[in-house]
Chains A and B, each alone.
Chain A
Amino acid sequence: MLWVTWRQFRPQAVVAAAALAAVAVTLAVTGPHLAALYQGSGLGGCTADCGSRVASFVSAVRGTPSEDIFYGGVLLVYALPALIGLFWGAPLITREIESGTFRLAWNQSVTRRRWVAAKLGLVGLAAMLTAGLLSLMVTWWASPLYQAAQQASQNSLSINRLSPPLFDATGIVPVGYAAAAFALGVMVGLLVRRTIVAMAITLAVFAAIQVLWPAFVRPHLLPPAHTVQHLDALTWNGVGDVHRGHLILQPGTLTGFSPGTWITGSQAVTVSGQPAVMSPPACESAMQFVACLDQHGIRMAVTYQPASRYWELQWLEAGLFLVLAGGLGGASYWRVRRLA
C-alpha cells in the first residue's frame, strides 16, 4: 500500500521538491547579504540603546530586493497550507470517487480503511514536512530582521513576530496549518464527492479560519496581561474627540512596551476602571483635550501578550491544529466505509 500511495503521490512530491529547491537556492544566495547588512550596522553586539542602529538597518533594507524577498517568503509560507489543502487534500480521495477508479481501488485485498490510512498518513506527513522545511528556510533567512526587531521598541517595517501577520509565517505553526488544511481537504472531498467543488470549499473554509483565528481565538489562548497607562505617557498621536458628549479615543501607536509585544486591545477607562463612554464636560472645549482627560482620571487600559510568550503560543497553536487535523483524519477514516 505504501508503494501504491507513493506512486500516486509522485508527481506532487516532485513538484514540491522542485519548488522547495528553488526557494532554497534563492534564499541561500540572498541570505548572506542580509546578514552582512545586519553586522555592518553594528547590531551584532548591541545590547542596549540600539534604536538608531535598528533604524539604519531597516532603512537599508527598505526599498531593496531584500524587502521584497522578505514579503515574498512570508506570503509563500502563508499560501502553502492552503495550496496543500487544495492540491493534495481535496483530490486525494475525491478524484477516485469522481472518476470511478474507487471500484478498482476498493476491491483489492487491502481494506478500505487501510487504504485511507496509508494515503492520509503518507501524504499528511509529506505535507507537514514540506511546510516545516519552508518555514525553517524562511525563518532562517529573515532572522537578522527578527533579531533587529527585538532590539528596539519599534521599527519602520513594523516587524513583530508575535502579531498576526508574521506569527502565522514563522516557527512551527505552519506545520500545524498544513496538516489541518490537508485533513480538511480530504474530509470536504469525502462529503462533497466532486473535486473542484471540494477545492473551492476547502479554500473558503481554510481562508476563513486563517482570518478569524488570530482575531478572535489566539488573543485568548493564554490569559493576556493587563496594564493601565496614563494618557500623557503615550505618545498621544491618535484621535481624541468628543461627539455629542461621547468620548472618542482611538490611540495611535502605543508606546511603553518592550519590543515584540502583541497588543490585543485597548480601551479608555475611568479612574474606577469602568469603560469611559462620556467625556468629562469640562474637557469638551478645553485647549489641551488629552491633557484635560488625563487630569480627570481617564486612562488607557491595554491588554497584551508579552513577547516572551512567543514559543508558548507557537507550540499551543500548532498542537491545537494538529489535534484538529487528527480529528478530521479520523472522521475521514470512519466515513470512507459508508461511501458507495
Chain B
Amino acid sequence: MIWMSWRQFRPQAITAGAILVAVAIVLGITGAGLISDYNGAGLSSCHLSCGQDATNFQNSLEGSVYLVVFFAGIGVMYATPALIGLFWGAPLIARELETGTYRLAWNQSVSRGRWVLAKLGLGGLASVAVAGLLSLMVTWWASPISSVLIYSKSTSAVSSRLTPIMFAARGVAPLGYAAFAFALGVTLGMLLRRTLPAMALTLVLFAAAQLVMPAFVRPHLASPQHATAAYDPNRGGEMIISNGGRMVVVESASIPGAWILSDTTITPAGKVFTGPATSACAGASINSCDSWLAGRHLRQYVTYQPASRFWPLQWTELGIYLAVSAGLGGVCAWQIRRKRA
C-alpha cells in the first residue's frame, strides 16, 4: 500500500521537490548577499549600542531586492498550506469517488481503512515535511532582519515575530497549518465527493480558520501581560478630534519584540479617555492642548504578549492544529470504512 500511495503521489512529490529546490536556490543566493550587507553595516561585531548600525542596515533594505524576497518569503509560507490543502488534500479521495476508480481501489485485498490511512499518512507526512523545510529556509534567510527588528521603535505589522503576520510565517506553526489544510481537504473531498467544490470549500474554510486563530484564539493561549505608564503628550502621540468634540488620543507603545493586543489611554478612574475636547484643544495650538492633556493625569494602558512567549505559543498552536488534523483524519477513516457506495 505504501508503494501504491507513493506511485499515485509521485507527480505531486516531484512538483514539490522542484519548487523546494527553486526556493532554496533563490534564498541561498540572496541570503548570502543579505548576510554580507549585515556584516558590512557592522552588526556582526557590535555588542552594545548597535542602534545606529541597525538603522542604517534597515534603511539600506528599502527599495532593494531583499525587501521583495522578505515579503515573498512570507507570501510563500502563507500560500504553501493552502496549496497543499487544495492540490494534495482535496483531490486525494474526491478524484477516486468522482471518476469511479474507488470501485477498483476498494475491491483489493487491502481493506478500506488501511487504504485511507496509508494515503493520509504519506500525504500528511509529505505536507509537514514540505512546510517544515520551507519554514526552516525562510526563517534562516530572515534571521539578519529579525535580529535588528528589536531596534525598531515603531510597532508595525512586521516589527516583531509575534505579530499575526509574522507568526504564521516562522517557526513550527506552518507545519501544523499544512497538516490541517491537508486533512481538511481530504475530509471535504470525501464529504462532497467532487473535486472542484472540495477545493473551493477547502480554500474558504482554511482561510477562515487562519483569520479566526490570531484574532480570537491565539491572544488567550497564554495570559497576556499588562503595563501602565503615565501618558506624556510630549512623547509624540497623535490625537484626533471628531465633530462632537470627542477625542481619540493615540500613542504607540514601544515594547521591543512584543505583540501589542490593545493600547488605550485611560483616565485616573480607569475608563478610556474620550474627551470632550475643551477650547484648549479645539482649534488652538498644540502646546496649549498638550498642557491641558498633561493636567488630565492620563495613563497609557497596554495589553501585550511579551517576546519571550514566541516559542510557547508556537508549540501550543502546532499542538492544536496537529490534534485537529488527527481528528479529521480519524473522521475520514471511520467514514470511509462505513461507506456502502
Q: CB within 8 Å of B: which residues of A?
A: 11, 15, 36-37, 39-41, 55-57, 59-60, 62-63, 67, 71, 83, 87, 91, 95, 99, 156, 165, 195-197, 199-200, 203, 211, 215, 237-239, 241, 243, 248, 250-254, 263, 266
Contacts and interface: CB of A to CB of B under 8 A. Distances in A.
Contacts of B57: 239
Contacts of B156: 62, 156
A239 B54 CA distance: 11
A55 B41 contact: no
Contacts of A239: 37, 40-41, 56-57, 59-60
A200 B238 contact: no
Contacts of B125: none
Interface string B217-231: 000000000000000
Contacts of A55: 238
A262 B17 CA distance: 37
Contacts of A67: 157
Nearest to B286: A52
A291 to B, nearest CB: 16
A165 B63 CA distance: 12
Interface string B39-73: 01100000000000001110110111000100110
B250 to A, nearest CB: 5
Contact of A238 (B15, B59, B87): B59
A63 B196 contact: no
Given A40-B241, A87-B200, A251-B63, A63 B252 contact: yes
A135 B118 CA distance: 44
Contacts of B250: 59-60
A263 to B, nearest CB: 7
12 contacts: A40-B241, A57-B240, A62-B155, A63-B155, A67-B157, A87-B196, A195-B195, A199-B87, A239-B40, A243-B40, A250-B37, A252-B60
| A71, A165, A199, most chain B CB atoms within 10 A | A199
A199 B15 CA distance: 13
Interface in B58-105: 59-60, 62-64, 68, 71-72, 83, 87, 91, 95, 99
A196 B238 contact: no
Nearest to A263: B63
Contacts of A99: 99
Given A15-B200, A200-B87, A156 B154 contact: yes
Contact of B240 (A37, A95, A165, A251): A37
Nearest to A83: B203
Contacts of A57: 240
Interface in B227-279: 237-243, 248, 250, 252, 260, 263
A11 B200 CA distance: 12
A237 B59 contact: yes
Nearest to A250: B60
Interface string B195-208: 11101100100000
A40 B87 contact: no
The interface residues of chain A, by DSSP majority, are classed as helix
Contacts of B154: 156
Contacts of B37: 239, 250
Contact of B248 (A60, A195, A241): A60
A250 B60 CA distance: 6
A54 to B, nearest CB: 10
A156 B153 CA distance: 12
Given A63-B263, A156-B154, A40 B240 contact: yes
Nearest to B55: A237
Name which of B41, B95, B196, B263 has the most chain A CB atoms within 10 A of its CB: B196
Contacts of B242: 36, 39-40
A62 B63 contact: no
A59 B41 contact: no
A63 B251 CA distance: 11
Contacts of B62: 238, 251-253
Contact of A40 (B95, B155, B243, B260): B243
Contacts of A59: 237-238, 250, 252
Question: Which 10 interchain pairs have the tightest Cβ spacing?
Answer: A252-B59, A239-B60, A56-B238, A40-B242, A237-B59, A59-B238, A40-B240, A250-B60, A238-B60, A252-B62
Contact of B56 (A60, A211, A238, A254): A238
Given A39-B242, A95-B196, 8 more contacts: A56-B239, A59-B238, A67-B157, A195-B195, A196-B87, A238-B60, A239-B56, A251-B63
A199 B241 CA distance: 51
